[in-house]
Amino acid sequence: LPVFWQRDVIVTGASSGIGEQMAYHLARMRSHILITAQTEAKLQKVNGKQSTPRVPGHHNIKQTK
């Protein structure tokens, strides 16, 4: 997916499955990603996994409901 290198991307359903894995992959490609999920708790889970040296970035978690 070189087309996504350093691009702005929205990933829906990013708290599990394909959406979660795609978010990690895009983050490693230094894309600027906005992830969405049904609850803040699910986003916090993904955020905790993303906070590794290989996946840098700024994280702002908010629930939309």
Is this prediction's pTM over 0.85?
A: no
Domain count, the chain: 1
Structure tokens at 43: 């986003």
Structure tokens at 30: 């230094």
Q: Does any domain span residue 65?
A: no
- Ramachandran sector of residue 6 (left: φ over 0; alpha: ψ -120 to 50; beta: rest): left
CB 33 within 8 Å of CB 11: yes
Is the dihedral angle over the CA atoms 17, 20, 22, 25 positive or is it negative? negative
Greater confidence (36 vs 58) lies with: 36
Q: Does any domain span residue 6?
A: yes
Q: Does any domain span residue 55?
A: no
Q: Which tens digits make up the pLDDT trace of 12-28? A: 888 889 999 998 888 88
CA angle 43, 49, 54 (to 5 degrees): 125
Q: Does any domain span residue 61?
A: no
